[in-house]
Amino acid sequence: MIKTGMLSPDPTMSEKTFRHHFVVMIAMSVTCGVALVAVGYYPTMGRAGSAGVAAMCAGVGVSLAASVMGSLLVAHALAGPKDKVPLAILGGTCLRFCAVLFLVAPLAYFEMVARVPFVLWVGISYLIFLFADTLLAVHGLRDARGRNG
């Protein structure tokens, strides 16, 4: 028997579930990112000017990219056996942290953007994305356990 792959025209139920969880997590992350930029625009512009706003957008973008990477692992686990989800949530957090370090280091070190607003907004957005993604992952785990008994 041939197993269907992720690129199969006839996706299996777990592939549909993976896509559903991943799309929901990404939609939540993008929504949080847009909200952060909207809320932080005027205070950042007042304190650091247009260079600070560019740094804010870069910081939120870095955290968003890390959130997407962590969400891949969590969404994949939510589509499979539920006993692996708590470990996947921790793994997603570790992956997200490593991605942020990898992306922040060169931008901050080589001063590609204003350093202080950049690092500040990476920290703020990282915490917001981590909170939202963890809530969604735990909700997905509880929902799946409720359906499966």
Is the four-CA dihedral 87, 92, 93, 98 of positive or negative sign?
positive
CB-CB contact of 19 with 13 (8 Å): no
127 found inside a domain: yes
User: In the 8-state DSSP scheme, what is residue 1?
Assistant: -
What pTM value is reported for the model?
0.85
3 found inside a domain: no
4 found inside a domain: no
pLDDT digits (tens, 9 = 90+) for 86-142: 888 899 999 999 999 999 999 999 989 999 999 999 999 999 999 999 898 888 878
Assigned token pair, 37: 């930029």
pLDDT digits (tens, 9 = 90+) for 10-36: 456 577 788 988 999 999 999 999 999
pLDDT digits (tens, 9 = 90+) for 98-111: 999 999 999 999 98
User: In total, how many domains does the chain have?
Assistant: 1
* pLDDT above 70 (res 7): no
51 found inside a domain: yes
Calpha distance 33→115 (Å, rounded): 19
